[in-house]
């Protein structure tokens, strides 16, 4: 049995492993279909699993009108982000697309420094 200390490490390694292989699996699916099919399939699976976990383990009460912008961003952000990522996998391939997509934390830091006036510190990285 995995001890309580090793459990978070196990989940981190498992998440990293599956994230690393997600591009390969998506690329295999896109060969037989379109990127938009992969987007809606992955979003549907994520939505069902995460909503189920949310309703099982938390007391969810929310006013949809108060959360309208958050819900809209939560729908549009993943749809557009995954569509462009999967389209780049389809057009460029894994070897070119993955390094470009994986540079988004660095780009976010640079944008925060330039436009928002963030100061560079270890917390940003």
Read off the pLDDT of residues 92-105 as tens digits, 9 standing for 90 and up: 888 888 888 888 88
Q: How many whole angstroms separate alpha carbon 34 and alpha carbon 50?
A: 25
Residues written for the chain: 125
Read off the pLDDT of residues 6-51 as tens digits, 9 standing for 90 and up: 888 888 898 888 887 888 888 888 888 888 888 888 888 888 888 8
Q: How many whole angstroms separate alpha carbon 63 and alpha carbon 65?
A: 6
8 A C-beta contact, residue 58 and residue 50: no
> What pLDDT does 53 receive?
84
> What pLDDT does 125 receive?
54
For 118, other C-beta atoms within 10 Å of its C-beta total 14
Average pLDDT along the chain: 83
């Amino acid at each position: 049995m995995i001890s309580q200390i090793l459990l978070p490490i196990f989940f981190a390694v498992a998440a990293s492993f599956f994230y690393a292989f997600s591009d390969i699996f998506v690329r295999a699916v896109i060969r037989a279909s379109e990127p938009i099919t992969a987007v809606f399939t992955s979003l549907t699976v994520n939505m069902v699993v995460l909503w189920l976990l949310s309703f099982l383990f938390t007391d969810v009460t929310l006013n949809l009108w108060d959360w309208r912008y958050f819900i809209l961003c939560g729908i549009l952000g993943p749809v557009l982000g995954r569509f462009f990522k999967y389209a780049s996998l389809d057009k460029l391939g894994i070897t070119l697309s993955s390094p470009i997509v994986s540079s988004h934390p660095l780009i976010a830091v640079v944008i925060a420094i330039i436009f928002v006036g963030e100061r560079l510190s270890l917390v940003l990285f």
